Amino acid sequence: MKKIIIINGPNLNLLGKREPTIYGASTFEDYLKELKNKHVDIQLEYYQSNIEGEIIEKLHEVGFNFDGIILNAAAYTHTSVGIGDAVKGIETPVVEVHISNIHAREEFRHVSYIAPNAKGVIFGFGLQGYELAIQSFL
């Protein structure tokens, strides 16, 4: 059974409440239930933190024994050399995901410190981006 973890960064705990015109009206927990019901053949885990160092620690923890990591580092994508270095330092492939089209937003969001070391990047497809990332590991 494949082991895949979704790691979400800052403010993604507010999905369903925060800027629903950009991020939608569903909570991530509701969407995660749908993903788990659809993918009973994989072990799908979830982790969310608003703290950069905790995200790095989680990447270190799972980055050598999981089959895939789906990482939405949110705003840290554009600011955290540390998270980018953590992705570079682990063996498990990482797919970077963003709910919104980061290239249709502020210019600072066009830069990713994760993408150079990721298996791929998916953005602009809403929550469906997580499903697309799962498919990339199957």
Q: What is the largest CA-CA distance in the chain?
A: 40
Which amino acid appears at position 18 of this protein? R
Q: What is the DSSP letter of 45?
A: E
Active-site annotation, residues: 23, 98
The CA distances from residue 78 to 28, 45, 86, 88, 117, in Å, are 22, 25, 14, 16, 14
